[in-house]
Amino acid sequence: MKVSKQAAIALRQLRERLCSRTLAHSLLLYSSDNNFNKLKFHISSSISAACSKVLLLRGDKGSGKSAVVELVLKDLKAEHPDSISVVTLYGLLHSDDDISALEEIARQLCVGHKFSFSKTVSLDENKEFLMDMLKEYGLARKTVVFVLDEFHLFTQGKQWLLYTLFDAMETFTSQSIIIIGLSCLEGSEQQLEKRVRSRFSSCTLLFGPPSEEDRIRLLEQLLHLQKDSSLASKYVVEFNSRLDKIFSDKKFKEILSYVTCADGSTNHLLRFLFTASSYMDMESGFLSLQSFERAYSLMKRQPKFASLHDLSVLELYILVCMHRLQCKEETSYNFNSVMKEYKAIQDAHKTSDNYSHAVCLRAFEHLLDRELISFTDTKEEMIPLSFGLLSFLFLPGN
């Protein structure tokens, strides 16, 4: 088999792993003391005792909260077939409108039991349907799990949905109703109103970034090729051998340290690895240290990125003019130099973006306020922009 064809197959396998919602997190489930086992224990005990429970999963975005919930519920559904129903709500979609939230609950319950669903029913009818369904679940000794993603958004406003769910948990005391809240904010439960908090007690699981040892193990399991019929054994051995050399390289360890220092979440690491796979040499068929270096260069955080938001067209013109001056190897320039370049652009292209000297000066001062450009006294001092390619030098005029 040609190297390029094997490389294409290997790249497809790598990307399938890196794009999986749960694979990376499932590879970290070897420990007996992890959130997967803890969450599964809490839900299992609630199912066995036929009691209700509220669980809060807190951690940074990308730390694996949703993936772990998905893995746990998949396991429990296999252990308790036809005994668990899951309703998932998202704070960004369902926290502002109680009607749509209850409608979504009714829709998911209807889909799960193959009932017909109507969008025309009222809020009270949907609430009555929910209570009837919970009562039927209790009689059939079934469990319903409500997963509230972005839980902190549900704690804003009137909190009617939370009050309804917690009230149902107190009403149906002989059955298992489980609420799992996922949040990236600490203390979100403190935002609950008094009438809601009186019905609220929870167990909290904290999600943090993987340890350095876990991270290395994850890299090996995600990037090492498996021997199968679609790839030549010799190619797989060589591919994995080269990866091991990269993992032990001091430069790679520095890059990995920089990447995880900015964001230690598993999802951020997956994005980095996916970007590195995009720089795989398809001629040789292997990943190289340069693949990871280029991925890091592309993903490097740009400290001025936020300052570029909402810039006016004129302010962008000024930045382009400064870049043009730099391309002409002018090592120092002032506002008048920039204005000459701006006028040259207008004369050459006859655009409608022709502003007066005073307006341009105000735009220039706005760029100074945002620290996208600055005064300097030495020719060596450069002010980088978040474009990653542009850097500007500005010297005050006489």
Write the pLDDT tens digit of every residue in 232-263.
889 999 999 999 999 999 999 999 998 888 78
Q: Which of 146-150, 157-161, 237-241 has the lowest mean pLDDT?
A: 157-161
pLDDT band per the 50, 70, 90 thresholds, residue 378: very low
pLDDT band per the 50, 70, 90 thresholds, residue 118: confident
Structure-model confidence comparison of residues 210 and 180, the more confident one: 180
> For residue 206, what are the β-bridge partners?
58
Query: Which of 51, 59, 112, 68 lies closest to 87 in space, CA to CA?
Result: 112
pLDDT of amino acid 393: 36
Q: Over 60: is that where the pLDDT of 198 sits?
A: yes
pLDDT of amino acid 60: 86
Separation between Cα atoms, residue 242 and residue 96, nearest integer Å:
52
pLDDT of amino acid 253: 92
pLDDT of amino acid 117: 77
Rg of the chain's alpha carbons, rounded to an integer?
28
Read out DSSP for 26-53? HTTTT-SSSHHHHHHHHHHHHHHHT--E
Read out DSSP for 91-155? HHHHSS-HHHHHHHHHHHHHHHHT----TT--HHHHHHHHHHHHHHHHHTT-EEEEEEESHHHHT
- State how beta strands 383-384 and 177-183 pair: unpaired
Query: Which of 202, 170, 179 lies closest to 189 in space, CA to CA?
Result: 202
pLDDT of amino acid 370: 79
Structure-model confidence comparison of residues 198 and 313, the more confident one: 313
Separation between Cα atoms, residue 381 and residue 374, nearest integer Å:
10
Q: What is the pTM of this model?
A: 0.68
pLDDT of amino acid 398: 32
Separation between Cα atoms, residue 83 and residue 72, nearest integer Å:
15
pLDDT band per the 50, 70, 90 thresholds, residue 273: very high
Q: Over 50: is that where the pLDDT of 388 sits?
A: no
Burial of 127 (0-12, 13-18, 19+ CB in 10 A): middle
